[in-house]
Amino acid sequence: MEIHETVNSVYIAMDILLTGAQGFLGSVIRAELNQYKITTLGRSQLNDISGDISKEIFALQKFDLVIHAAGKAHSVPKTPQEGQEFFDVNFKGTANLLHSLQERPPKSFVLVSTVAVYGRDKGHMIDETHPLAANDAYGQSKIKAEELVLRWCKQHTVTCTILRLPLIAGPNPPGNLKSMINGIKKGYYFNIGTGDTRRSLVLAQDVARIIPSAASLGGIYNLTDGHHPSFKELSDYIALKHAYPRPKAMPYFIARLIAGLGNLMGPNAPLTSKKLDKLCSELTFDDTRARTSLNWSPQPVLGKFIIHNK
């Protein structure tokens, strides 16, 4: 590693291996850390090293830092085979990556994980000491990946960092934020009641920017924007940014009636009692550890969330 000076700062030059660089968060990490030498590994031919880590072992050079951002998320498995895909990508892919690094371990390893490992549909300011109680395929596969990385890094004297992330905001977000944006655009998104239920979010750019300092220190961290906006705040912000009509509110008793009908249709219905309870329950996470140890000072998602969805 070498120390370089720029006009505004000093940084340590590192050789970085990044997985998942073609994905939503990975592409932001690559753009934000462009002062470093980054080698990308993934299935797309656009990567420097092309291959499927869920199926392959690679002969890799020595890196200072490995950022493992590849993973499968944003879907609910409908069959056992679809559930197994989470373990193939999130757990087996991690195992194959670590095996590929066995002969030349990096100085630091950063695993991008998720608050889904806590297995909670509701809760107030959950911190890193909370038990890992996920019972779904996604959460369980991430728990197994975390456990594997922690053991491997200890065995190879590698500084290990695990970042547990909530909903991630940024350009063209996937998953639930994408669904919300599309719903607001097309006029079928409604807030339930007053829409005051809060969720933790974090900006992709802030996650990327904290990685070098987090990697040098190690540890397990929740990362949030610290504001935890309500559904109403978030949906109003998205509508304002795109000049869409402000989302309307659906009275809770009507939502409950619709959910009752959804119960008769089965778990794949757009709204069921279980889904409604989840939508109306706060789910926020505490990032005090990151603020104290990493000097984590994130930007509020509302005001900085630039959306380019079409």
Q: What digits encode the pLDDT tens for the residues 214-266?
A: 999 999 999 999 999 999 999 999 999 888 999 999 999 999 999 999 999 98
Using a 10 angstrom Cβ sphere, with 0-12 exposed, 13-18 middle and 19 or more buried, the burial of residue 194 is exposed
The dihedral through the CA atoms of 304, 199, 69, 51 has a sign that is negative
Instruction: Give domain status of residue 278, yes or no.
Output: no
Instruction: Give domain status of residue 132, yes or no.
Output: yes
DSSP string, 55-105: T--------SEEEE-----S---SSHHHHHHHIIIIIIHHHHHHHHTSSS-
Instruction: Give domain status of residue 185, yes or no.
Output: no
Question: Residue 156 is part of a domain; what is its CATH number?
Answer: 3.40.50.720
Q: In this predicted model, what pLDDT tens digit does every residue of 16-64 receive, in sequence order?
A: 999 999 999 999 999 999 999 999 999 999 999 999 999 999 999 999 9
Instruction: Give domain status of residue 275, yes or no.
Output: no
If one counts the domains in the chain, the total is 1
In the chain, % helix, strand, coil (3-state, to 5) comes to 40, 20, 40
Q: What is the pLDDT of residue 306?
A: 62
Instruction: Give domain status of residue 295, yes or no.
Output: yes
Instruction: Give domain status of residue 263, yes or no.
Output: no
Task: Name the residue with tokens 């073609």.
Answer: 22
Output the CA–CA distances (angstroms, integers) from residue 224 to 133, 199, 293, 299, in the order listed. 20, 10, 15, 9
Percentage of the chain exceeding pLDDT 90: 78
Instruction: Give domain status of residue 266, yes or no.
Output: no
Instruction: Give domain status of residue 6, yes or no.
Output: yes
Which residue range(s) make up the domain with 162? 2-172+200-228+284-304
